[in-house]
Amino acid sequence: MTSSDSSTSVRVASPSESGESSHSGPGVSSSGASSGPPSPVDARIQRDLEVMMSHHDLDSAVTEGSLAAIRARYSIPAEYGLYIPEPGQRSYSLDVPGMCISVDALEAGLRFPLHPLIEECLKRWRISPSQVAPNSWRYLVVFLGECRGAGIIPTRDLFMACFRLCKSRGGYYLTARVGFRVSGAPSSNKGWKSRYLYVSGLGWGFGFSWSAHPIGNALPYLSEEEAVLVGRLKGILSSSCAIKEMTELWLVEAGLSPASKDRMDLGDLRGMPRVAGGRAPPSRPSAREASTSPAREAPRASAKRPAPPPTEHAGATGKPVKRVKVLSRKHKSPVGEGGSRPRSKGRRFTKETRVTMP
């Protein structure tokens, strides 16, 4: 990573600046330079940002040939464009066609269009989605889904009363507050920083610039009614199995996935593979963009079809022919003849022969 690379240009946001992010895309200038030497606080933020970016100075493992599969698996509507990085582009680059997101975030349950609360949180936190660790998306998604199931209107204050945002050397992550417990998240999401792509939309309610500003985690002020709701959420989230057992159907019923709106009925969804914790699908060969939504993956059969019983057939003479199983031993070839010794050494194999009945 070099500071002279225009794609790595970033804007250092000091704590004194407003928490509102003004731009809605990567095309806005990120210089933000001010006259005079930087303050000690700004200098520390700049150093932290450079360290954070060094952890993400990786080429993307996502290829153009995998975009169609990603669109289908994660029910991404056709109006959202999917792009792979150009050579030299990174997850923190600004000269890119859209928002940067890790495939692991999609695997964690993030779907488009983004829920308004997710956009509000990103705007208030003043960070880019590509800075957020995958398990944090799991907490956001499960919070939204469980609120819907309990008839609770989700707000940022309620969410921040349950979780707090923390900064590490490599990015930002959410953790449950004292008294809250959310289980099921994988202990490791190794490799997520290199599984990123760009998503273009009709406009975003937050910025894409990376930041490394300090985080304030004071509990939000809650009304008496909100305090009661937080008490309910403590029990709901502690007993939730949604992270471990998350499916596309659950996301649809929670109002977080557009799959059913995209001509996909719930019968199909029940056959879709489960959203696996922490594991993203493999990526393969390369189009700048997958412009149209391909056909969905066909659901897998839930059980093997039983084999039909053996039947008798008429032979050329008109007499019935019966299939008879004959036991035989497979020839053991010595090492060096025909390759390595077969694993099935000494096993019996059956083969079917056709015998004409008298």
What string of DSSP letters covers 173-196? EEEEPTT-------S--TTGGG-E
Report, as an integer, the average pLDDT of 197-210: 94
Are 144 and 249 in contact, with CB atoms under 8 Å apart? no
pLDDT at position 12: 40
Residue 99: C-alpha distances to residues 27, 122, 171 (Å): 11, 12, 16
Element (H, E) at 198: strand 196-200
Does residue 305 have a pLDDT over 70?
A: no
Confidence of residue 270 (pLDDT cuts 50, 70, 90): very low
| Mean pLDDT score of the chain | 76
Confidence of residue 337 (pLDDT cuts 50, 70, 90): very low
Q: CA 119 to CA 21: how far, in whole Å?
A: 11
pLDDT digits (tens, 9 = 90+) for 105-126: 999 999 999 999 999 999 999 9
Confidence of residue 319 (pLDDT cuts 50, 70, 90): low
pLDDT at position 341: 44
pLDDT at position 193: 98
pLDDT digits (tens, 9 = 90+) for 75-95: 999 999 999 999 999 999 999
Report, as an integer, the average pLDDT of 170-196: 95
Report, as an integer, the average pLDDT of 349-353: 46
Q: Tally the C-alpha atoms within 13 A of residue 242's C-alpha that lie toward its C-beta.
A: 30
Query: With the C-alpha atoms ordered 257, 263, 266, 268, is the resulting torsion angle positive or negative?
Result: negative
pLDDT at position 136: 98
Q: Would you kindly state where each structural domain of the chain is located, as residue ranges?
A: 8-270, 309-331+347-358
Report, as an integer, the average pLDDT of 342-352: 45
Selection from 4-8, 18-22, 56-60 with the highest mean pLDDT: 56-60
Q: CA 131 to CA 152: how far, in whole Å?
A: 28
Indicate the range of 93-107, 146-160, 267-281, 283-297 predicted with least confidence.
283-297
Selection from 160-164, 264-268, 331-335 with the highest mean pLDDT: 160-164
Does residue 232 have a pLDDT over 70?
A: yes
More confident residue, 233 or 28: 233
Does residue 313 have a pLDDT over 50?
A: no
- Smallest CA-to-CA distance from 23 within 190, 163, 203 is with 203
59 Cβ contact partners less than 8 Å away, ≥ 6 residues apart: 85, 194
pLDDT digits (tens, 9 = 90+) for 131-163: 999 999 999 999 999 999 999 999 999 999 999
16 Cβ contact partners less than 8 Å away, ≥ 6 residues apart: none
pLDDT digits (tens, 9 = 90+) for 8-51: 333 444 333 334 333 334 333 333 445 578 888 899 999 999 99
Does residue 99 have a pLDDT over 70?
A: yes
CB atoms within 10 A of CB 142: 25
pLDDT digits (tens, 9 = 90+) for 212-228: 998 889 999 999 999 99
pLDDT at position 75: 97
More confident residue, 343 or 133: 133
Q: CA 152 to CA 62: how far, in whole Å?
A: 37
As a whole-number percent, the residues of the chain with pLDDT over 90 amount to 58
How far is C-alpha 153 from the chain's CA centre?
25
Q: CA 171 to CA 131: how far, in whole Å?
A: 5
pLDDT at position 286: 38
Confidence of residue 318 (pLDDT cuts 50, 70, 90): low
pLDDT at position 17: 38
